[in-house]
């Protein structure tokens, strides 16, 4: 069985990088909006709702980057027989969540 794997790049390709930066810029705007809401003394539930939205957007951005990592770096490591270190990296990452 032949597996179609994108070769290891060590970083996001230009398309994935552009999309990641777009997402992160949007999140940065959300954070600035939350800061402004706090400064203006907005209702707590409204602020907390926006914090939850920003957190969800960060999680989505993280999943986007993780998916690329799994499809490239980890897949290449598995094929080359060096999966153990990549698995250890992901396990350490998951401890942070």
Question: Is-contact 6 71, C-beta < 8 A?
Answer: yes
CATH for 51: 1.20.58.1000
User: Can you give the pLDDT at residue 82?
Assistant: 86
User: Can you give the pLDDT at residue 47?
Assistant: 98
Q: Which residues lie closer than 8 Å to 92 by C-beta, 6 or more apart?
A: none
pLDDT band, very low/low/confident/very high, at 13 (cuts 50, 70, 90): confident
Is pLDDT of 10 > 70?
no
Residue with tokens 């094929």: 79
pLDDT band, very low/low/confident/very high, at 7 (cuts 50, 70, 90): low
Do the domain assignments include residue 61?
yes
How confident is the model over 34-83, as pLDDT tens digits?
A: 999 999 999 999 999 999 999 999 999 999 999 999 998 888 888 988 88
Structural domain for 29, as ranges: 14-95
User: Can you give the pLDDT at residue 2?
Assistant: 46
Closest CA to 23 of 56, 50, 48: 56
Q: How many domains does the chain have?
A: 1
Which one is predicted more confidently, 3 or 97?
97
């Amino acid at each position: 069985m032949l597996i179609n794997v994108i070769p290891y790049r060590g970083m996001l390709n230009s398309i994935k990088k552009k999309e990641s930066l777009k997402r992160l810029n949007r999140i940065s705007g959300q954070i600035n909006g939350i800061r402004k809401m706090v400064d203006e003394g907005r209702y707590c539930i409204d602020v907390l709702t926006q914090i939850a939205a920003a957190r969800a957007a960060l999680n989505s951005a993280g999943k986007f980057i993780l998916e690329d990592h799994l499809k490239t770096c980890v897949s290449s490591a598995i094929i080359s027989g060096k999966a153990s270190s990549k698995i250890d990296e992901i396990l350490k990452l998951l401890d942070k969540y």
